[in-house]
A and B are shown apart, each in its own frame.
Chain A
Amino acid sequence: MAEMRDLQFQEPAARAAQAAQALTGAPAPAAELQDLPSEKMVLNMGPSHPSTHGVLRIVLELDGEIITKAMPDVGYLHRGDEKIAENMTYSQFVPYTDRLDYLAPLANNVAYALAVEKLLGIDRQLPPRCQFIRVICCELARISSHLLGLGSYAMDVGALTVFLHTFTEREKIYNLCESLTGARFTTSYTRIGGLSRDLPPGWIDQCRKFCREVVVNIDETETFLTRNRIFVDRTRGVGVISRPDAIDYGLSGPNLRGSGIEHDLRKAHPYLVYDQLQFDVPVGSAGDSYDRYLVRIEEMRQSVLLLQQCLDKMPAGPVNIQDGKIALPPKDRVLTRMEELIHHFINVTQGVNAPPGEIYFGHENPKGELGFYIHSKGGGTPHRLKIRSPSFVNLGILPKLLPGHMISDVVAILGSFDFVMGECDR
């Protein structure tokens, strides 16, 4: 029988202290090195760099291999989503939300629909079946996003196998998405006041099968990484974010919880049916890259638990609000009845008639708090729609976090942040 060997981990923050020591020049360098002129070097990382997961550009100022200054440059994927939203009806903007965090489009769809429904005042009147299906969507998206985040993170720090492993599992989620929404990637599944369609026959069984399989996959992924000496050495004590810093910089999601702050919008302000479901909120203790990794692993397990509960409790009934002024009426009635025809026509051409006012809705997305602020002057079009994207806010801490680290640690820190530029740049 194999003997379990305890890994001698390096003290957290020991490497950062080493780096700081090198910066202040506390230990005297060898005599022959003392006369060498030291010159700061400016290095441009990205926007096309595999570890920047998209088009993030960071201008690094280096003293040897130590970073002395970091200036993130975002906006390479800016498409003006907020401007576009001001020029279309609420329903027409749903496909654009797919393109925010394009690794979790289902969760974005749900977040946006809930925000508009909050403005309309119907977010608590959704049919139960719709709410359960939406929770399933959110948790599937969370697993999918974390699987990708972990796989690419492991690849960034040198382990290719994990990436192939997690992508095999994501493929199953894409298959589920395809049979649920008709699209693998750009799902556009939610509608204002409901969903584009009900679960297809047999979908619940497919999803149960997936739940059984993904748990095994998560365990296997952990065996690849959690006690892997190389992975641990590259992530422990790297990118330590203290609790006050995490709050001050407005971090959210796993990056916030990695620093030990137990805050989850699903618990703090339950929406949909999260208050009827049992789940835990994992938190880290040291706030380093390794903790953020552990939080994501555990969140996936909790998501599977949530999925199973939803599948067990799934009630029968309609998935759309029975109000023709908000959700489109059933097609057979549109074609046979006058009133439904009018509702359909008004709904498509003018959109739902939202009251004047303003709301903010924050949704616990896989990456953090995805918020929609809607300023309405009444009618079917938002006067202003602001997307508070978690990736944008989370990246704001980089100028504080990176200095003092080695250049190879940038990759380990960026991967542990798990950001998406489509959402950051909007």
Chain B
Amino acid sequence: MTTSLELAERLRAKFPALISAPAEFRGEITLEVSDPEAIPEICAFAKRELGFDYLVDITSVDLYGEDPRFALVYHLYGYGHLCPLRLKLRLSEEKGELPSVTGVWRAADWHEREIYDMMGLRFRGHPDLRRILMWEGYPYFPLRKDFPLSGKPTHLPEVAFTEPAPLDGGPFVTIAGGKDTIAREPRVRIPETDALELNARLERRQDIKEAHGHARGPGAIEPRK
């Protein structure tokens, strides 16, 4: 029965200059690939000759503060021998680009789009490299370590700002960001103060919109009698 280690050694024998010695942790074999440009060739060989027909996953890690900054992790698996193998490579921020493996496994398509979306690494030769989870035109790469957890205000007002929903500020809706939870509780709220608070919020929103050169939206809401 073949093991991951044997397959890793065979892969290394084929590309001795490119692949490091196999490292083992918790029974998993990892190979470091030194040149990102060689990854399609290595993957094609692994699939064709070593039977790694199932691409489980591709993912990226932001090793912020190290150089090269990014790591890409390929998880391979073969249905013939049931052995997993992990390939890793490092990519510098300045380069930020590597060849795609969509020609080897079609499953790589969405994985690479996700990495582009979340980390901002580009894949040369990808058939359709667009954002996948965030919307088209979103300016940041949220899984990078220098992107804050709370997010950043975006400069795309027509995408990021929406008109208030019809029920916004109604009697059964909590107002986010109010003074405290008791004041926000729908059952204790007084409609007049709601309308005041909502108008203040609407004005803030209008200010932001006008700063972006947008026309004023619908007018403020009258306090309820």
Contact = CB atoms under 8 A, between A and B. Distances in A.
Answer yes or no: do A and B interact.
yes
A362 B56 contact: yes
Contacts of B73: 358, 373, 375, 386
B59 interface: yes
B61 A250 contact: no
A357 B61 contact: no
Q: Which size class do A's interface residues fall under?
A: 35 or more
B172 interface: no
B97 interface: no
A99 B77 CA distance: 27
B90 interface: no
Interface stretch (B37-45, B101-109, B160-168, B187-195): B101-109
The binding surface of chain A is classed by DSSP as: mixed
Contact of A87 (B79, B134, B149): B149
A413 interface: no
Interface in A347-371: 357-360, 362, 369, 371
Contact of B107 (A78, A383, A396): A396
Interface in A172-202: none
B107 A248 contact: yes
A400 B30 CA distance: 32
Contacts of B25: 357-359
B56 A371 contact: yes
A390 B62 CA distance: 23
A400 B110 contact: no
B133 A250 contact: no
A75 B149 contact: no
B105 A248 contact: yes
A386 B61 CA distance: 9
Given A269-B82, A396-B107, A247 B53 contact: yes
Interface string B115-150: 000100000000000011111000000110001010
B136 to A, nearest CB: 10
Contacts of A359: 25-26, 28
A360 B79 contact: no
A84 B149 contact: yes
Contact of A250 (B26, B54, B134): B54
A392 interface: yes
With most chain B CB atoms within 10 A of its CB, the pick from A84, A249, A359, A383 is A249
Interface string A52-86: 00000000000000000000001100101011100
Contacts of A383: 61
A209 to B, nearest CB: 38
Interface in A380-405: 383-384, 386, 388, 392-393, 395-397, 400
B133 A118 contact: no
B1 to A, nearest CB: 13
A274 B106 CA distance: 32
Interface in A203-232: none
Contacts of A358: 25, 30, 73, 86
18 contacts: A75-B131, A83-B143, A83-B149, A87-B149, A248-B107, A250-B55, A261-B79, A268-B82, A357-B25, A358-B25, A359-B25, A360-B57, A360-B86, A362-B56, A371-B56, A375-B73, A384-B59, A386-B73
Given A74-B133, A247-B79, 12 more contacts: A87-B149, A118-B26, A248-B106, A268-B82, A360-B84, A373-B73, A375-B71, A384-B61, A392-B114, A396-B106, A396-B110, A426-B133
* In the complex, the 9 A-B pairs of residues with the closest C-beta atoms, listed nearest first: A250-B107, A75-B133, A386-B59, A388-B57, A396-B110, A78-B133, A384-B61, A357-B25, A248-B106
